[in-house]
Structure 1
Amino acid sequence: MKKLIMSALILTMAAGLLAGCANSKKEGQVTIGIGQFAEHGSLDNCREGFLAGLAEGGYVEGENLKVLFENAQADGGTAAQIADNFMAKKVDLIAAIATPMAQSAYSAAKKKDVPVIFTAVTDPVMAELAKEDKTPNGNITGTSDKLPVEKQLEMIRKVLPEAKTIGIMYSTSEVNSVSAIEEYKAVAPNYGFEIIESGISTAADIPLAADNLLEKVDCLNNLTDNTVVSSLPVILDKAQEKNIPVFGSEVEQVKLGCLATVGLDYFDLGVQTGKMAAQVLRGEKKASEINFEVIEEASFYGNNAVADQLGITLPEELVNSAKEMFDEISE
């Protein structure tokens, strides 16, 4: 009997030692959690760019960097669970991609002062992640993907000189979209446009909202709204049936079938954010000491295949200035 008890104790101790080895991090290794709010091209590019920026800053996955990645699939409750899970696993830093994920990460991390680096947050001030002077509200900083609204409207006017109304669909629960809508409505009259908005609560609302909006507008303009972007193929199909152009807000949307955009390169945005995270991981500065940054460069992207479908000739000056033109629609 004593031998059996002793054997059991030895096995238990051995299991504990093995578990400890499994859970311990390599010497000099840091662990980060990357939480992405939704699955679509621009946010995927942001994540890839973020890892590239970290590598430039000296942190390479599989060497001195362990990455935990989870996607909330555009669900706010799941985003909160992901953030709590990262905290339970005692990550050294959370990277949050898109506004709802950043808000959830900050809420979970501030209790233990774990740094959060966000990206693809349109309005960090409205999201209560930063102050008006760009200083952080806590141990959090990152990059904004604020839309180049005036450049976009100027481009739409050149492409559609006779257009009067622009329809914009947005999720009422995403503060980044609410902020963008207000800016579009304020600036649109300067370019002779009226903005007709349609707020949705869930992705299930999108088909009917798209049908109603397409009856009232000359074109649609898509934001970086995560819920809407996740259903972009549905919107594009409905718009194509009515021969109404849809303008995107970044390059991946143009690849999928939007006519054109003046937008950001989300890979570059991610690289910029990754470099900020590396600075924090190296201990050079705390996130609370770094103002959030806004990427300034925006480029024209157009899709020749979509233009041909719509019978639209894209202005030569835009085509000549394009960072990239596409001749097919991605599946």
Structure 2
Amino acid sequence: MKRMITFIGAILVFLGFALVTQPAQNANNKLVQHKVIKVGILQLVSHPALNQIHQGIISGLKDEGFKEGKNIKVEFQNAQGDQSNLKTMAQQLANRDDILFGIATPAAQSLVNAANKTTPVMMAGISNPVGGGGLVESEKRPGANVTGSSGDSPLDKQLQLIRDVMPQAKKIGVVYTSSDSGGQSNAKKFEKLVKKAGLQAKMYTIANTNDMQQISQQMASDVDVIYAPQDNGVASSMKTLVNNANQAGKAVFPAADTMVADGGTASYAIDQHDLGRTAGHMAAKVIHGKKPANYPVEYVVKGKYVINQKQVDKLNIQIPEKIMQQAHKNGRVIK
């Protein structure tokens, strides 16, 4: 009898413990149980491509039913290209918020360091999350607390666009920022494609946006056409690059649609807003309990033609009719 009483008592204690601890475990696994989710967004610098990703994040969360002032509170920080700002802002966001977004590789890296494998970190539009930033262990199984969206530039189609529009161009200048791992990776990949096509690639680097004035003047005088990869420093100084290229009568073919709007001639590009929106959709699933560690990185791969008609006219360039038709139908023609 005593054994039976002891056994029943042990069961009651166990059940009591389970009832107490189970809600706490669920609360840790599902952020949605919080009344208002605190969302922290860290952006490296202001320029149209990254701004579009930011807007896409908000759209993606809204698609999933998470709206500012209703069930989420968004805290946005912009480091304006300052590395020390990144570290400070990342720590502040990690201390205060439930889920974090890093826009551009340096921002995501800072958040990962500050979150210390606890708070979920969503990459937003990171072009090379494994090799370039070491943010995830693999694309299929990111590991720890990090996942998100990625979108490698369709480099082969971008090179083909240059060849279709500028068939006489033999020497292609490529400029990238030495400290931007994603930009450097994209530039090096493009260089290999150019060489494989039997053309000459001339590589130019800038340490920061202040270098673009001198470097772009030199490049524009040396090459037949310029390629601007998906690179934060280059995107931030597009107007300087385009101004010097125009003076030399050279076309700039950038990687991002927003860089065409900033003066580039044309591109076959993925949509930056879609990169952010995808990250927002993924974040909603993490909020509902999905583990970042085994949530594969999602890629945005569908591209579109974007043509800057003003630049085409200024440089007296003829865009093939087939490309113009596709730009009008599925892409964008900037007047």
Normalization by structure 1: what TM-score?
A: 0.87
Q: Give CA-to-partner distance per residue, 1:21-79, whole Å, 9 cap, x none.
A: xxxxx961110100111111111111111111111112111100000001111222211
**Matched residues in 1 for 2:43 and 2:245: separation?**
28
Residue equivalent to 2:201: 195
Deviation at 1:315, TM superposition (A): 0.6
CA change 1:88–1:69 in 2 (3 A) is: same
Given the alignment, which residue of 234, 249, 253 partners 1:247?
Answer: 253
Q: Does 1:289 align with 2:320?
A: no
Residue equivalent to 2:269: 263
Residue equivalent to 1:236: 242
CA change 1:217–1:107 in 2 (3 A) is: same
Counterpart amino acid of 1:288?
A
Residue equivalent to 2:69: 62
Which secondary structure state, in structure 2, belongs to the residue aligned with residue 212 of structure 1?
helix
* Equivalent residues of 2:306, 2:334 under 8 A apart: no
Q: Give CA-to-partner distance per residue, 1:214-259, whole Å, 9 cap, x none.
A: 1211111111211121111111111111110001112111112111
Gaps of at least 5 residues in structure 2 are 1-32
**Matched residues in 2 for 1:114 and 1:154: separation?**
42
Counterpart amino acid of 1:202?
N
The structure 1 segments of at least 4 consecutive aligned residues displaced by more than 6 Å after TM superposition are none
CA change 1:165–1:137 in 2 (3 A) is: farther
Gaps of at least 5 residues in structure 1 are 1-25
Residue equivalent to 1:47: 54
**1:150-161 correspondence runs (5 A):** 150-161=156-167
**Matched residues in 1 for 2:88 and 2:201: separation?**
36
**1:24-173 correspondence runs (5 A):** 28-89=35-96, 91-110=97-116, 113-126=118-131, 127-173=133-179
Which secondary structure state, in structure 1, belongs to the residue aligned with residue 307 of structure 2?
strand
* Equivalent residues of 2:103, 2:123 under 8 A apart: yes
Counterpart amino acid of 2:296?
N
CA RMSD, Structure 1 to Structure 2 (Å): 1.5
The number of residues matched between the two structures is 300
Percent identical residues? 31
Deviation at 1:327, TM superposition (A): 4.4
* Equivalent residues of 2:140, 2:294 under 8 A apart: no
* Equivalent residues of 1:157, 1:191 under 8 A apart: no
CA change 1:217–1:45 in 2 (3 A) is: same
* Equivalent residues of 1:154, 1:191 under 8 A apart: no
* Equivalent residues of 2:130, 2:139 under 8 A apart: no
**Matched residues in 2 for 1:65 and 1:263: separation?**
31
**Matched residues in 1 for 2:334 and 2:283: separation?**
37
Normalization by structure 2: what TM-score?
A: 0.86
Residue equivalent to 1:306: 311
Instruction: Return the index of the structure with the highest Cα Rg.
Output: 2
Q: Does 1:316 align with 2:326?
A: no
Residue equivalent to 1:12: none
Which secondary structure state, in structure 2, belongs to the residue aligned with residue 269 of structure 1?
helix
* Equivalent residues of 2:147, 2:295 under 8 A apart: yes
Which secondary structure state, in structure 1, belongs to the residue aligned with residue 268 of structure 2?
strand
Counterpart amino acid of 1:300?
Y
Which secondary structure state, in structure 1, belongs to the residue aligned with residue 222 of structure 2?
coil
**Matched residues in 2 for 1:214 and 1:106: separation?**
39
**Matched residues in 1 for 2:67 and 2:137: separation?**
32
Moved more, 152-161 or 70-79: 70-79
Deviation at 1:147, TM superposition (A): 0.8
**Matched residues in 1 for 2:332 and 2:91: separation?**
42
